[in-house]
Structure 1
């Protein structure tokens, strides 16, 4: 079964919009795990507009499933990850003012940088994953960085699926095959939702984990958080 890691950034955004501690981020993480999710993901950005660095430290103390921290490996982020020591760190080439992640790494251009950062995390016992577009040469480049896994950036798949174009899955299938052939684990995320997740799971071989936040929280407004977590788990079987 593909694991579901729930990104709780949006819950932090809601909390921050009013101040105080509603919703309680730590209790939300506990509840999401209790509902069956196999991981919690956070993406702290330098401006801390949703997940704060201190949230990440606090979550480390209470998360009992897999804890995944994703972000751009600037020095401040690297220091946080080395302090917290999550199960997994996912490296994303975000600009500081990015609204959300919008592209994968150029693993050829940035190979030396990625090799250095990844080796530091792995020396500290932290599994590594890097965000990549579904392009064979970028996946092959990722394999040369020493990373344990890649996370396929799935926005283009989601857009195509919403238009009824199921052929949009093809580049992801090919990228997953290349990843498996080069001994990389395969994660995926971005714009996956209840409508498109099952088709993605059925067609992507060796899919280990999906990280879902924005859609899952939006769907939960109508359907309830516990119900939605279990709807994802059912589709990922």
Structure 2
């Protein structure tokens, strides 16, 4: 299948303001890109790309005073198959983990393992290690958190999501990530496009999505505690320890976000 992915954001700035953007299909999907979802700006300003510590492609600009439009529109080839499920994927002993996964065992800005370790072990110590344990974590988080955009808060952490029992997709991901790390399973945050293909209508307005990957059986596996079912057409943008590492936009001065649109649609034919 082919998927049209893109976004449009309008900002107002009172003065020239630096911005960092983590947008665009992840390099791991490069062979699937039919039309690149390259970042464009109106008015046109110089865009400087760079790779961050996690290998994500990022862009830097200085937004001029006034209104600026950030946009992209691309097309990606996808298998059309739901997220893979690997029940036999085993959990590694910490001493056997590859060195590059160890950072994803540690606490981070939104995933306070120190505050959640006792809770995690009380909840999941009797679950079978490996895939079944991560699945149990996702099931708990899916049932524990009530979804609603009115519950979104940029400062909300995994512990606060656990305590409040409400949030948005990034809160589901943060809590599941923190629980996995508490149980010695490396877990990393993912942001990207996730359309509603294969789900019943009516479909909600488009948005970027947050999910996570856990390291089991020698590789990374996708998990989505918000939806808790394998989904079709997931298009990764970036990965990091948590949402603090992969903000869609980061501004370094006062501004107003005037409008925000995201689309992820199957292309006919």
TM-score with structure 2 length normalisation? Answer: 0.24
**Higher RCO (CA 8 Å, separation ≥ 6 residues):** 2
Q: Which has the higher helix share?
A: 1
Task: Choose 1 or 2 for highest CA Rg.
Answer: 2
TM-score with structure 1 length normalisation? Answer: 0.26
